């Protein structure tokens, strides 16, 4: 009996010693610094944004289809009925949720790059505006952060101005994803949607359009400042019909966020990309960024490169219900001049050299 008690006592002493050793080891491990915590939060903020834009619509659609064949079949049926009832809402101003635009997560998103908004001229609340956003880049990070989230202080820099951002109309046909987009202030890049914002919502509205679109994303790579703009005149015609002033903006650093495999014009891969662009509205790009583990690994997250979006001087536009081609060409030329002026006056301030030029195709 004494032998058993002694053995038990020895085991308890050994266990106590093991626990104490484990606690000492745990306490010896350095706690993450505030900088490490901030970096982790910034990475998670960017991760949720990328996953939302790349997967939320497709995953939601597949989930609703799956639920149709389960005991929860009523959920997708009711949601489908709601979408049918709510079909036109994206083209009638959407459903902005100010609380979503003020999420703390967007501040971490902003600080990851970081993103900065620069004002050069006032925008009067007594007018409406079409803001041309350049360049497109891969995922339009600068346009989203500045015109959709409140993290860079757009409303403080331009008091009385409500900003909207346009995106492909097809995105608003994806379940759940459409609600996510509308809540932030995104709307379809269609005449009807843009016309509604410029004519039915009073004044003080600024609709940002990434004019280069999918075609411009195919040429996106670091060190290249080429815009698809020469034959893009629909936004000028819309501005004339509604008397909306034209405002150029340029996001310096947007093309540095990803690395893309760029196929030469005339190659069979380039032709496939062009065909997809015409069929579905966007061009499939072969690109990569950093991974989750480190900045040196490869993955689908953007690199942390600074983005500075400079909003330029507005071009005053008269209201002409049926503008002629010559009038559209004239204001299109005025807009390009304003954009070139904005680029040349700010390029050396935000990472480019004096010899860099803006190429417009």
Q: How many CB atoms lie within 10 A of CB 108?
A: 20
Crossing angle of helices 57-67 and 74-85, rounded to 10°: 130
**Residue 193, C-beta contacts closer than 8 angstroms, at least 6 positions apart:** 90, 91, 92, 166, 169, 187
d(CA 81, CA 93) in angstroms, rounded, equals 21
Domain housing 315: 35-360
Give domain status of residue 18, yes or no: no
Give domain status of residue 3, yes or no: no
Strands 287-290 vs 298-299: parallel, antiparallel or unpaired: antiparallel
Angle at 238 between CA 184 and CA 84, to 5 degrees: 45
d(CA 262, CA 111) in angstroms, rounded, equals 29
Give domain status of residue 184, yes or no: yes
Per-residue exposure over 301-312, b if at least 16 CB sit within 10 Å of its own CB, e if not: bbebbebbbbbb
Write down how long the chain is. 361
Give domain status of residue 294, yes or no: yes
d(CA 332, CA 236) in angstroms, rounded, equals 6
pLDDT value of position 292:
85
Residue 167: which H helix or E strand, with range? strand 162-167
* C-alpha distances in Å from residue 49, one per residue of 44, 216, 301, 357: 9, 22, 10, 32
Q: How many CB atoms lie within 10 A of CB 168?
A: 15
Dig out the tokens for 226 from the structure. Answer: 């080429």
Peptide bond into 114 cis (omega under 30): yes
- pTM here? 0.86
Residue position matching structure tokens 């290249």? 224
Give domain status of residue 22, yes or no: no
For the chain, the domain total comes to 1
Angle at 85 between CA 83 and CA 91, to 5 degrees: 75
Give domain status of residue 57, yes or no: yes
Give domain status of residue 317, yes or no: yes
Q: Per-residue confidence of the chain (361 residues) as pLDDT tens digits?
A: 444 444 444 544 555 666 666 656 645 656 678 787 898 999 999 999 999 988 999 999 999 999 999 999 999 999 999 999 999 999 998 888 888 888 999 999 999 999 999 999 999 999 999 999 999 988 899 999 999 998 999 999 999 999 999 998 989 999 999 999 999 889 999 999 999 999 988 899 999 999 988 778 777 666 668 899 999 999 999 999 999 999 999 999 998 998 876 656 666 666 666 666 666 555 666 678 888 887 778 888 999 999 999 999 999 999 999 999 999 999 999 999 999 999 999 999 998 888 888 889 8
Strand order in the sheet with 259-260: 259-260, 287-290, 298-299
d(CA 273, CA 284) in angstroms, rounded, equals 6
What distance lies between CA 59 and its chain's CA centroid?
Answer: 19
Give domain status of residue 99, yes or no: yes
Q: Could you tell me which residues are beta bridge partners of residue 260?
A: 287
Q: Give me the torsion for CA of 231, 237, 240, 241, rounded to 10°.
A: 180
């Amino acid at each position: 009996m004494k032998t058993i008690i002694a053995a038990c006592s020895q085991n308890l002493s050994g266990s106590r010693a093991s626990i104490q050793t484990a606690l000492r080891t745990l306490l010896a491990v350095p706690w993450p610094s505030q900088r490490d915590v901030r970096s982790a939060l910034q990475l998670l903020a960017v991760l949720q944004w990328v996953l939302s834009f790349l997967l939320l619509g497709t995953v939601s659609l597949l989930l609703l289809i799956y639920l149709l064949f389960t005991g929860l079949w009523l959920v997708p049926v009711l949601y489908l009925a709601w979408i049918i009832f709510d079909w036109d809402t994206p083209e009638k101003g959407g459903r902005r949720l100010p609380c979503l635009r003020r999420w703390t997560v967007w501040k971490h998103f902003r600080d990851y790059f970081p993103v900065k908004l620069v004002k050069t001229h006032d925008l009067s609340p007594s007018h409406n505006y079409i803001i041309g956003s350049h360049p497109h880049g891969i995922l339009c990070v600068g346009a989203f952060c500045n015109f959709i989230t409140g993290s860079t202080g757009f409303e403080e820099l331009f008091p009385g101005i409500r900003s909207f951002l346009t995106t492909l109309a097809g995105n608003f046909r994806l379940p759940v994803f459409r609600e996510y987009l509308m809540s932030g202030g995104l709307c379809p890049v269609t005449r009807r949607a843009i016309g509604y914002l410029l004519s039915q919502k009073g004044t003080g509205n600024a609709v940002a359009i990434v004019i280069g679109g999918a075609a411009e994303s195919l040429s996106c790579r670091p060190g290249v400042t080429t815009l698809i703009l020469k034959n893009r005149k629909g936004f000028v015609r819309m501005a004339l019909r509604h008397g909306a002033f034209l405002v150029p903006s340029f996001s310096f650093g947007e093309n540095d966020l990803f690395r893309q495999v760029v196929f030469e014009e005339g190659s069979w891969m380039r032709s496939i990309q062009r065909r997809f662009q015409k069929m579905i509205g966007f061009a499939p790009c072969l690109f990569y960024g950093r991974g989750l583990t480190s900045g040196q690994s490869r993955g689908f997250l953007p690199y942390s490169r600074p983005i500075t979006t400079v909003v330029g001087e507005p071009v005053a536009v008269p209201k002409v219900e049926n503008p002629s081609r010559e009038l559209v060409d004239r204001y299109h030329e005025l807009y390009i001049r304003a954009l070139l002026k904005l680029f040349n006056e700010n390029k050396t301030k935000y990472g480019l050299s004096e010899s860099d030029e803006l190429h417009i195709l």
